[in-house]
Amino acid sequence: MKWYHYFCAFWAGMFLANFVPHFINGVSGNAFPTPFANPPGKGLSSPVINVLWAMFNLLVGYLLLRFSKTTSQNKLSMLLLFIGIICMSVMLSLTFVDKMKV
């Protein structure tokens, strides 16, 4: 595998992890921060915007995962995929800790 396959595996994990909170909040009918809110990433966006943002993240994550050629046999690509998920998950938890204090 080339270096950019590993790079894509990491970013696939980032996008796939970002899908989860936006999708859950969107389908639950909850307002939640997105880059389209005012202020971006801090204000609350409607549930519909969150579902659309989640679907964008899912699509990009899926495309990156396919391009990365990640398989269970390639341990390094799987590790980078999960590191991407962990990094985004920690970043989201720190970013959204004060989401109700807008």
Mean predicted lDDT score pLDDT of the chain: 93
- What band does 22 get if pLDDT is binned at 50, 70 and 90? very high
pTM score, whole prediction? 0.90
pLDDT, residue 99, reads 63
DSSP sequence for the chain: --HHHHHHHHHHHHHHHHHHHHHHHHHTT--B--TTSSSTTTSPBPHHHHHHHHHHHHHHHHHHHHHHT--TT-HHHHHHHHHHHHHHHHHHHHHGGGTT--
State how many domains the chain has: 1
> Each residue of 43-76: pLDDT tens digit?
899 999 999 999 999 999 999 999 999 999 999 9
Domain residues for the domain of 59 are 3-98
